[in-house]
């Protein structure tokens, strides 16, 4: 019996998803070219298989019926990153956001920009 499709994204699938989140619509060949431009040189076959798998998992939707197939993300970056982060918080930190914050800001000095972002978030949460 075949194993059900994984709900989570592999590292390579996530690389491909970043292309669709930034570019919008693309073919597998265009996604491969974009990855190559960013220094991730993968074969066309590898990217085509990843795109097909992402489509089967419901992360990409196919926009046409003729080749080359054009795809776009069917799940937003915010949706996927939020779920992945929530899963990480649950599995690694047992749901403790305080532990996550301590780990994020306790290991190194915050940059001025990071400090401003954190202060803005805290002010917004205090309202």
Q: How many domains, the chain?
A: 2
In a domain, 82, yes or no: no
> pLDDT tens across 68-105, in order?
999 999 999 999 999 999 999 999 999 999 999 999 88
Look at residue 3 in the predicted model and tell me its pLDDT: 41
In the block, tokens 């937003």 appear at: 76
Look at residue 123 in the predicted model and tell me its pLDDT: 92
In a domain, 81, yes or no: no
Show the DSSP H helices in 1-127 as ranges: 11-23, 28-37, 44-57, 77-93, 97-106, 112-126
Task: Give the integer Cα–Cα distance in Å for 18 and 34.
Answer: 10
Look at residue 87 in the predicted model and tell me its pLDDT: 94
Task: Give the integer Cα–Cα distance in Å for 31 and 48.
Answer: 9
| pTM to 2 decimal places | 0.83
- Which CATH number goes with the domain that contains 48? 1.10.10.10
Cβ pair 16, 9 in contact under 8 A: no
Q: Which residues of the chain have pLDDT under 50?
A: 1-5
* Dihedral angle, C-alpha 44, 47, 52, 55, nearest 10 °: -140
Which domain range does residue 113 map to?
A: 97-127
């Amino acid at each position: 019996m075949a194993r059900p499709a994984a709900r989570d994204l592999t590292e390579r699938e996530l690389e491909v998803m970043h292309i669709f989140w930034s570019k919008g619509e693309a073919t597998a060949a265009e996604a491969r070219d974009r990855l190559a431009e960013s220094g991730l040189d993968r074969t066309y076959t590898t990217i085509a298989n990843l795109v097909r798998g992402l489509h089967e998992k419901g992360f990409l939707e196919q926009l046409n019926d003729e080749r080359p197939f054009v795809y776009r993300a069917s799940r937003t970056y915010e949706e996927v990153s939020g779920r992945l982060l929530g899963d990480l918080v649950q599995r690694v930190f047992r749901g403790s956001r305080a532990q996550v914050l301590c780990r994020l800001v306790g290991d190194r000095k915050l940059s001025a920009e990071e400090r401003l972002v954190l202060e803005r978030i805290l002010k917004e949460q205090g309202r």
